[in-house]
Amino acid sequence: MSDGENRGRCTVVLGGQWGDEGKGKVVDVLAEESDIIARYQGGANAGHTVHVGDEEFILHQIPSGILHPEKRCLLGNGVVLDPIQFFREYDEAESRGVSLDGRVGVSLRAQLLLPYHRLLDQIREGKTTKKIGTTGRGIGPAYEEKIGRRGIRVVDLKDEQEARERLTEGRERARARLAALGETDLGAVEACVEDAMAIRERLLSLATDVGLEIHEAIKSGKKILLEGAQGTALDIDHGTYPYVTSSTTTAGGAASGSGIGPTAIHRILGVVKAYITRVGNGPLPTALPPAMDEKVRTLGAEFGATTGRPRRCGWFDGVLARYSARVNGLTGLVVTKLDVLDTLPEISVANAYRTPEGELTEFPADNRSLANAEPVYETMPGWESSTAEARKVEDLPRNARAYLDRLEEITSTPIDMIGVGTRRRQIIHVA
């Protein structure tokens, strides 16, 4: 395991599987030793859960660092910013006693995600026979407009008249697309121009050049934490396309989505569960048979933080984890939810896939191979005792340590932290 010499300037925390790995909790823990926490991609499709005392916060749009008073929390240019959701979350946090005044900033270059993007997402998913199983938060349509160079950025709201024109154009474009889908009832979307104009000044009051702010903070010796959303296998390029999200969830996106150079990043942590889950459609090679799937879902409380959907559960997929280590250049792993496996007599890990084309040890590009892949499992004895109170590696049962050692071997990546419960203190710092 690594010796921790890397702790410092700019750390990325990202998902190494299909999302929901426990990034929110890890960011909350690492925020303690950071000055700035920034989201760099995705939008309100994310659902990051943080437990503080008896309170649970589920953050969709605002970085998971907000629960530490005094820390600066930023939303970078790579984010699609839903201003209505953003202020709903902002106000809710304040109403629960979290003071955000002066410590939240949004990038001038961030793209706006508007009610018509949500509607388009939901209507499209409703009508297609090849459903991706999106969160319905408008992510695909908003990124389509960005890449199509029709999107509206925060900075575009500065001029009042231009803002109104751009918003009206956007709404009319959405109306035409919805009409082509046979949808004429725009519902709440009718009011979107006025609704956006009403929060324009409030949003602009938080606008900042995020890349510049982070750059200057690094120069003055401050510590930065970049918070990823979703996971590696949901990446637009490296995931199980088209069953992916529409952004770069892998480490490269942390630089481009926050506006800093890749060389400023020195520590990249890939968060992985001690098993695996997936919500939404697409292949899951190590999926468990129904009774065991149900058992792990119950043990791990595996229901979506954004949509409440049940997550499919599987054994740890070493092929995917090795791929994540490679495409992200991981410096360390954070293995979460080890405690969920506490009662199991045996635990399996896949280290290869058997396919009609032969045995694969590298994650394939095509979903057909993944759908037909039969995992080659190694089965290890469980530890059948509680890990919840372990605070250092030596506190863990021998079989749990052997399991973690095997994950390190399979991924050729050191484990830096281990999660043994939902609470802040239920974490083991290895490094």
Binding mask 182-221 vs ligand IMO (x if CB under 6 A, - otherwise)? ----------------------------------------
From ligand GDP, ligand IMO, Mg ion, none, interface partner of 235 (C-beta below 5 to 8 A by class)? none
DSSP secondary structure letters along 69-110 = TT-EEEE-TTBEE-HHHHHHHHHHHHHTT---TT-EEEETTP
Residue whose beta carbon is closest to ligand IMO: 280
Write down the least CB distance from residue 244 to Mg ion, Å. Answer: 15
Q: Which of 11, 16, 18, 20 binds ligand GDP (CB under 6 A)?
A: 20
Write down the least CB distance from residue 246 to ligand IMO, Å. Answer: 6
Show the tokens assigned to 138: 């408008």
Residue 21 or 213: the one with the smaller Cβ distance to ligand GDP is: 21
Q: Is 419 in the site for ligand GDP (CB under 6 A)?
A: yes
Binding mask 2-21 vs Mg ion (x if CB under 5 A, - otherwise)? ------------------x-
Chain centroid, CA 9 distance in Å: 21
Q: Is 324 in the site for ligand GDP (CB under 6 A)?
A: no
Tell me which of 3, 28, 35, 48 is the catalytic residue.
Answer: 48
Q: Residue 415: phi, psi to the nearest 5?
A: -90, 125
Tell me which of 20, 82, 121, 293 is the catalytic residue.
Answer: 20
Residue whose beta carbon is closest to ligand GDP: 419
Q: Which of 115, 141, 270, 280 binds ligand IMO (CB under 6 A)?
A: 280
Contact present, 210 and 72 (Cβ < 8 Å): no
Distance CA 66, CA 207 (A): 17
Residue 47 or 65: the one with the smaller Cβ distance to Mg ion is: 47
Closest-CA residue to 64 (of 84, 88, 93, 85): 93
Write down the least CB distance from residue 10 to ligand IMO, Å. Answer: 20
Q: Which of 47, 253, 318, 332 binds Mg ion (CB under 5 A)?
A: 47
Stretch that binds ligand GDP, among 1-9, 113-121, 389-397, 417-425 (CB under 6 A): 417-425
Burial label for 113, CB within 10 Å (0-12, 13-18, 19+), is buried
| Residue whose tokens read 């079989």 | 399
Q: Beta strands of 295-423 (E only): which ranges?
A: 312-314, 316-317, 332-336, 346-355, 358-360, 374-381, 415-419
Q: Is 245 in the site for ligand IMO (CB under 6 A)?
A: yes
Residue 8 identity: G
Q: Is 20 in the site for ligand IMO (CB under 6 A)?
A: yes
Q: Residue 115: phi, psi to the nearest 5?
A: -55, -30
20 is catalytic: yes
Write down the least CB distance from residue 121 to ligand IMO, Å. Answer: 7
Distance CA 357, CA 344 (A): 33
Q: How many helices (H) and strands (E) does the chain have?
A: 12, 20
Query: How far is residue 357 from each of residues 94, 104, 141, 353, 365, measured CA to CA in Å?
Result: 56, 51, 36, 10, 14
Q: Which of 45, 64, 85, 232 binds ligand IMO (CB under 6 A)?
A: 45
Write down the least CB distance from residue 326 to ligand GDP, Å. Answer: 21
Q: Which residues are near ligand IMO by CB under 6 A?
A: 15, 18-20, 45-48, 132-135, 137, 139-140, 229-231, 234, 245-246, 279-280, 305
Q: Which residues are near Mg ion by CB under 5 A?
A: 20, 47, 305
List, by residue number, the catalytic residues. 20, 48
